[in-house]
Amino acid sequence: MEPRPTAVRPPIHLRIADDIRMQIERGELPPGAAIPTLAEISERWSCGMNSARGAVALLRAQGLITSGRGKAPVVRIPPRRVIRSSERHQIEKDLALKPEAERGAIGEAETNLNMSIGAQRFSSQYDQVEAGPELAKVFGVEPTTLMLRRQWEATDPNTELRLSWSVSHIPLDIVKSNPALLDPNNEPWPGGTQHQLSTVGVEIMKMVDEVTARMPTTVEAQLWGLPEGVPLIFCRRISIDGDGRVIETSDADYPADRTELHFVTPLRPWPKRRQA
Amino acid sequence: MEPRPTAVRPPIHLRIADDIRMQIERGELPPGAAIPTLAEISERWSCGMNSARGAVALLRAQGLITSGRGKAPVVRIPPRRVIRSSERHQIEKDLALKPEAERGAIGEAETNLNMSIGAQRFSSQYDQVEAGPELAKVFGVEPTTLMLRRQWEATDPNTELRLSWSVSHIPLDIVKSNPALLDPNNEPWPGGTQHQLSTVGVEIMKMVDEVTARMPTTVEAQLWGLPEGVPLIFCRRISIDGDGRVIETSDADYPADRTELHFVTPLRPWPKRRQA
């Protein structure tokens, strides 16, 4: 192993990028403001054009400035953040018991996105696939077990960009007694998945959300219209019944620059007589 | 607005990167395997060296291959994932009532990281700062309100890389009646923050975790030893008492390639008489 160098002066382009980042964080360069040109950087930091270009490329990869095609880069204007709260889980469960008119009036997507349902273009795709090794472990089934797979996408008809995307897997055995659940023409189903499951006698008692993040692939970045340097948050929601049986996984991606996931954990009170 | 071109063939370097990404996802190029050299890419996809270099740079930015200094890039070996579950919130609350010996035996860090406590190097830093406009909103206090700020960091003494980092804010008024809570020399405090709060009569009844993600700054990437293309997950944990008062915020960063955050939401049962 090489010894770690101590207090090495970082390359000039890193220092320039950090100086500009701090100007952005302090608000001296507000959203929409042009950052210094390559010539200005070169003069102010006494560096070559390659270092100036390197600094700008780094700020772009960190998601701090726009990647204008030929245009001067500006400090990125953060998009409006959509908050998705785990409190929806109980709301959706309670909705499943409401009359159909009420269930139909409240679509999940309505409250999830900064755009009314009417303005979005929805597509859903149903098919049946084998669980495969990864989902087999989650569901505790054989990898060859047949699953109902449902994929949903919403796009903005003006930009054709993706607004939401998710894919759900349910063991076919759980839902096949109600053939209406296998038909995508019944979308949007009033009350959503929790009501659908109620028609086959399943009640969800616990949701587990598993969250991580990664950089998008080229195709994903194009589909969502993601600027450079913006990760995708990945959330797998696992629905579990009262017997601890995994009923559904629902995988969704969320662009990190426009999404906040909130998870609420109520705590049980301490007993009255404290031992402390 | 420019019309959106339909079915444009993407630039060659994007197609090459996607081809190689799919080989990685299908396991044809397993973790640790060398990806094709620039010469091989140039020959196989009949492209120039610049396109080959562009494809490799893209795979690196997406976090799929290592950025070997002068070495041939290989498919990244994913680090072991640490799972952090919201079920810890209740466990930590219950721990606060246990005798000191028991509280001291279970450190938070012990179960959080893939490294025993003894092997980690800890530092904590306490100071008092004004809330400022952003935290003032979260706490519902004046921006000039004094806060106890505590920052914790754990590093690996062998690599000097960061293993964990978080910063906590508590209004000074809440904790100052127990001066022991203001002294970093009392770290590690047996039982952690929930026990500390119990000494000033505060019981946390709800935790809200707010999660998003972003690319690290240059400095952060160096501190954590993050490979290119790996985002940081940002989690703000807000502790709330029975009166709905915000008691503490705790902000933490987690490298997305080695962390999964799990959030468990128990659901209340449907009433016995179903109206469906």
Residues of A in contact with B270 (CB under 8 A): 93, 96-97, 198, 203
Question: Among A146-150, B80-84, B163-167, B169-173, where is mean pLDDT lowest?
Answer: B80-84
Phi, psi values for residue B24, rounded to 5°:
-65, -45
B12-61 CATH = 1.10.10.10
d(CA A166, CA A252): 4
Cβ within 8 Å, pair B209-A265? yes
Closest CA relative to residue A11, chosen from B66, B219, B69: B219
Rounded (10°) CA dihedral A175, A180, A184, A188: -100
Check residue A62 and give its pLDDT. Answer: 86
Q: Quick one: pLDDT band at residue B107, thresholds 50, 70, 90?
A: low
Check residue A197 and give its pLDDT. Answer: 96
Check residue A107 and give its pLDDT. Answer: 56
B138-161 pLDDT tens trace: 999 999 999 999 999 999 999 999
Structure ipTM over 0.90, yes or no: no
Check residue B49 and give its pLDDT. Answer: 92
Q: Which residue of chain B is at minimal alpha-carbon distance from A266? A: B206
A136-192 pLDDT tens trace: 999 999 999 999 999 999 999 999 999 999 999 999 999 999 999 999 999 888 889
What is the arithmetic mean of pLDDT over B19-38?
91
Question: Among A211-215, B81-85, B175-179, B242-246, where is mean pLDDT lowest?
Answer: B81-85
Check residue B81 and give its pLDDT. Answer: 85
A82-262 CATH = 3.40.1410.10
What is the arithmetic mean of pLDDT over B23-35?
90
Task: Pick one of 1.10.150.110, 3.40.640.10, 1.10.10.10, 3.30.1490.20 as the CATH number of A1-77.
Answer: 1.10.10.10
Cβ within 8 Å, pair B208-A264? yes
Burial profile A208-233: b = 16 or more Cβ within 10 angstroms, e = fewer: bbbbbbbbbbbebbebbebbbbbbbb
DSSP letter, residue A129: E
Compute the Cα dihedral for B195, B197, B199, B205 and give only its sign: negative
What are the tokens at A100? Answer: 């159909």
Bridge partners for A169 per DSSP: A149, A249
Cβ within 8 Å, pair B218-A267? no
Going from N- to C-terminal start, the domains of chain B cover: 12-61, 82-262
Which of A18, A257, A264 is closest, CB to CB, to B219? A18
- H or E segment and range at residue A246: strand A246-255
Query: Which range scores top for mean pLDDT: A84-88, B63-67, B105-109, B185-189?
Result: A84-88
Query: Starting at the edge strand that comes first in sequence, how are the strands of the sheet with A246-255 ordered?
Result: A121-130, A146-155, A162-171, A246-255, A232-241, A204-214, B259-266, B82-85
Question: Among A97-111, A230-244, B165-179, B226-240, where is mean pLDDT lowest?
Answer: A97-111
Residues of A in contact with B233 (CB under 8 A): 211-213, 233
A83-103 pLDDT tens trace: 899 999 999 999 998 988 888
Residues 114-153 of A with CB under 8 A from B: none
d(CA A192, CA A250): 13
Question: Among A23-32, A115-124, B170-179, B267-276, where is mean pLDDT lowest?
Answer: B267-276
B231 touches chain A (CB under 8 A): yes
Q: Which residue of chain B is at minimal alpha-carbon distance from A22? A: B217
